[in-house]
Amino acid sequence: MAILGHGVSLPRGGSGRLRHPPRYAALLRPSSPRFPHSSIRAHLQPFYSVIGRPSIDPQLMIRMLIIGYCFGIRSERRLCEEVHLNLAFRWFCRLGLDGDVPEHSTFSKNRHGRFRDSDLLRKLFETTVQRCMETGLVGGDGFAADASLIRADANKRRSAAGSDAVDWEAMAATRRSVREYLDTQDEATWGAASEVTPKFVSRSDPAAQWTGAQKGHAFFAYATNHLIDLDHAIIVDVEASRAIRQAEVGAARTMLDHTQDCFGFYPERLAADSAYGSAEMLGWLVQERGIEPHIPVFDQSERRDGTFERADFTYDHEADAYVCPAGKELRPRQKTYRTPRPLADAAGLIRYRASTLDCAPCPLKPRCCPTTPARKVPRSIHEGARDLARALAATDAYAASRRERKKGEMLFAHLKRILKLDRLRLRGPNGGRDEFHLAAAAQNFRKLAKLIPMPEPRPA
């Protein structure tokens, strides 16, 4: 790909002959319009000084990072040793037999500097998506959104209670992860995702969320969010977020917006689990984006005390009223106020109320509203989108989307078991983004290597 540039290939024959060249090298050809007539050097040129000693080639570091994440080599110290000894890795990195391998500390210096300042790893991931699009592996009609928890590099013993007062401003002077935590307080996928005070906060990585979602021992974690094309399970976007449902739903919106702006994707349907089936999310998908939600509706109207549920009431669209099992109407408002009041409350719910004169003599009152004078039925302002999602759930296309959505779950299993990304090595929101972008790029590379036939070997 153009972002990886060109280099000198390893000499053939003799002791320099490659036994097992990496299959990913066949994919590295200049074909991405994201970086026309450019390369990593051109992209990073403003971040290098024109004086001083020669810098290490950034293309070499990116190639080494790709090797590390493709083969599950998490330690950069070990990665340098592997590249130094492995001839196939040397050929992939365009080092030759006598090329010097950079020291492991060089990666940290560049990651926290020019790589992060230029958003290079994000561009690298986008280039893999563009390459998949050019080879026809991305259909763009059906997407799936999902998230998985990744343990953070944080220890509970060094944490503070969520209610304790901590001078984060003072700690930010010496800790990069704390500075990033303070910088993301207003973002929808980080600090602004929820106002609930967590039980514990890590002093070393305060953006990590204390969670017990896996029904075992609680731990500090981040969430990696994937937006996957359902044709061949290509990851078209990835985002890091807090490990809570609100942040994951916000990340799904961000990914859909980003893929539309970056690649021009207008998917027809989106498959996800019930965590994404809130009324606000379904309303946004249907009314603002025109996407069919192949998502189970998040509904808490079910009752267990034997009384009538909301499903037992029939909604009349023309009259804008609910009809109870006894045939009486429930309307949005039974009183007339001197000062008009909004029908919907802060949660976006409109409450339809029955008349007390109808409910008091009704023989069904013990099964309808035994503890209140009259029955109330809440209805969301996005109930039309919820009704559409319920109707889609009975179609064959919905059943197909539910089966194809499992491809995303397999990618998460591959991420943790094969690529060894079950625990983050870097701290802070930016550290999570860097690792998730590199891992997603590696998974797309592996998918390309698996699905695209190898070129015919050329004679020596």
What angle, rounded to 10 degrees, do the helices at 406-417 and 428-451 form? 110
Distance CA 33, CA 30 (A): 9
Higher pLDDT, 214 or 59: 59
> Residue 354, CB half-sphere, CA atoms under 13 Å: how many?
25
Burial of 230 (0-12, 13-18, 19+ CB in 10 A): buried
The pLDDT, as a whole number, for residue 90 is 93
In terms of Cα–Cα distance, which of 286, 225, 226, 260 is closest to 140?
A: 260
Strand partners, 353: 331, 376
CA distance 395 to 397: 5
The ranges assigned to domains in the chain are 2-118, 140-274+407-436, 310-379
Burial tier of 177 (Cβ tally within 10 Å: 0-12, 13-18, 19+) = buried
Question: Which tens digit of pLDDT belongs to each residue from 7-18?
Answer: 333 333 333 333
Closest CA to 419 of 63, 164, 70, 35: 70
| pLDDT tens digits, 27-77 | 333 333 333 334 677 778 888 877 777 788 888 999 999 999 999 998 999
φ, ψ at 224 (rounded to 5°): -100, 125
pLDDT above 70 covers what percent of the chain?
90
Tokens at residue 250, please? Answer: 């916000």
Specify the pLDDT at position 84: 94
Average pLDDT of the segment spanning 87-91: 93
Is residue 229 scored above 60 in pLDDT? yes
Answer whether residue 317 shows pLDDT above 70.
Answer: yes
pLDDT tens readout for residues 327-340: 998 988 766 667 77
pLDDT of residue 336: 67
Closest CA to 393 of 298, 300, 297, 312: 297
Rounded to whole angstroms, how far apart are CA atoms 368 and 374?
9
- Percent residues over pLDDT 90 in the chain: 54
**Residue 291's pLDDT band (boundaries 50, 70, 90)?**
very high
Q: What is the pLDDT of residue 3?
A: 46
Which whole-number Å values give the CA distances from 41 to 24, 38, 59, 108, 445, in the listed order?
21, 8, 7, 18, 21
Residue 6: the pLDDT is: 38
Predicted confidence at residue 37, as pLDDT, reads: 35
Mean pLDDT over residues 336-365, rounded?
Answer: 84
Assess whether pLDDT exceeds 60 at residue 312.
yes
pTM recorded for the entire structure? 0.84
Q: Is pLDDT above 90 for 295?
A: yes
Rounded CA gap, 275 and 296, in Å?
8
What integer pLDDT is reported at residue 162 of this predicted model? 85
Nearest to 62 by CA among 53, 70, 52: 70
